[in-house]
Structure 1
Amino acid sequence: MTNPSAPEKVKYCSHCATQMETRTIADKPRRVCPGCGFIHFTDPKVGVGVFVVNEGKILLVRRTMHPEIGKWSIPAGFLDAGENPEETAVREALEETNLHVAIEDLIGVYQNPPGQGGASIFIMYKARLLGGEIQAGDDADAAAFFAPDNLPEIAFASTRAAIEQLKTQIMQK
């Protein structure tokens, strides 16, 4: 079994093309280049998303991409190196729902369990609806608002955790 900190699929050095080997670096196995000394670090994939509540209902999109295809999630996407997480979350909401939103607050940072695909670290923001006409797009085939007590099947542990965390607040309003 491959160790996640030393993936055997990393066969050649991205700097000099020498075949990589596994060595212990800082108490963890890592893929290391014996030629130039480059160390391959496995970085987590980071996702960002927006939790939008309008008239007591939660904005969700139905996924057309693996993992969790066919299940519903908040508008979200991966964060690339150098991107501002809040701007990325706003962009993803527009791409997936055709709705304009504004970030209001950070809800939390979540860890999705290993092996479930998607982002291993997920940053979730609360956003308010500014306008637009709801229409699914990008990697969603449906977008809709749902009452907290009548939700479809939800993708991702992070989204389920945030919904549970915020249900009480939504129901009180």
Structure 2
Amino acid sequence: MRFCATCGADVVLSRPEGDDRERFVCTRCATIHYVNPKIVVGSVCTLGDRLLLCRRAIEPRVGYWTIPAGWLETGETVEQGAAREAWEEACARIEIEGVLAVYSMPRIAQVQILFRARLVDAEVAPGPESQEVRLIGWDEIPWDELAFPTVGWALRRARELRGQDQWITGLNPEPI
């Protein structure tokens, strides 16, 4: 960060009084700018014994497979955000069933909240961020072509929980 979002003046890294770490502080109006992790929401969407995957049309990892997921927008719940992402990426209408996992990734300043969801119907199509979308069987997952580690973690966890009433894992299976 170089400039204050409040007044436009330069900011400097300094430790505000009573704080335990450096923050961006405006040199003119003294506004403290907190830089916090971004929230990613998404879902493992199933229809019977098939699941929805999207081939990315955008960077990062264009051409790789993922679940519908993306940034949470201001003014929406995490469930609304996950449903919106499914619609934007795969024209998929979903019903959220519950939290599947929460992954904390401080290295990239993200918290990912991933859900189990049921597709309302099989009508899916690529949205502007997807090259293609597919409903595939669990044994057809292209493990070597997944876009991100969390996609693999979520798919493995969803596969483990099929037919069970367990939901949240809350732990990263590997360090990020």
Do both share a fold (TM > 0.5)?
Answer: yes
Q: What is the aligned length? A: 160
1:47 aligns with 2:37: no
- Report the alpha carbon displacement of residue 49 of structure 1 after superposing the two structures with TM: 0.7
- Report the alpha carbon displacement of residue 132 of structure 1 after superposing the two structures with TM: 5.1
- Report the alpha carbon displacement of residue 150 of structure 1 after superposing the two structures with TM: 2.4
Mapping for residues 2-151 of structure 1, pairs under 5 Å: 10-25=1-16, 26-112=19-105, 114-115=107-108, 120-131=110-121, 133-151=123-141
The CA distance in 2 between the partners of 1:103 and 1:168, in whole Å, is 18
Q: Deviations over 1:66-88 (max 9, x none)?
A: 11211111111211222121112
The CA distance in 2 between the partners of 1:131 and 1:57, in whole Å, is 12
Judge conservation of contact 2:65–2:147 (CA < 8 Å) in 1: yes
Q: Deviations over 1:53-74 (max 9, x none)?
A: 2232221101111112111111
Q: Deviations over 1:2-24 (max 9, x none)?
A: xxxxxxxx112111222111102
What root-mean-square deviation, in Å, do the aligned CA atoms of Structure 1 and Structure 2 show? Answer: 2.0
Query: Which runs of no fewer than 5 residues in structure 1 stay unpaired?
Result: 1-9
The CA distance in 2 between the partners of 1:170 and 1:106, in whole Å, is 13
| 1:147/1:131 CA distance change after superposition, 3 Å | closer
Normalising by structure 1, report the TM-score.
0.83
SS in 2 for 1:149: helix
- Report the alpha carbon displacement of residue 171 of structure 1 after superposing the two structures with TM: 8.7
User: Which one of the candidate residues 135, 138, 152 is aligned to 1:160?
Assistant: 152
- Report the alpha carbon displacement of residue 120 of structure 1 after superposing the two structures with TM: 1.2
| 1:137/1:44 CA distance change after superposition, 3 Å | same
Judge conservation of contact 2:100–2:157 (CA < 8 Å) in 1: no
| Letter matched to residue 162 of structure 1 | A
Judge conservation of contact 2:47–2:121 (CA < 8 Å) in 1: no
Q: Deviations over 1:99-126 (max 9, x none)?
A: 21111111121124624xxx71111111
Normalising by structure 2, report the TM-score.
0.82
Judge conservation of contact 1:112–1:156 (CA < 8 Å) in 2: no
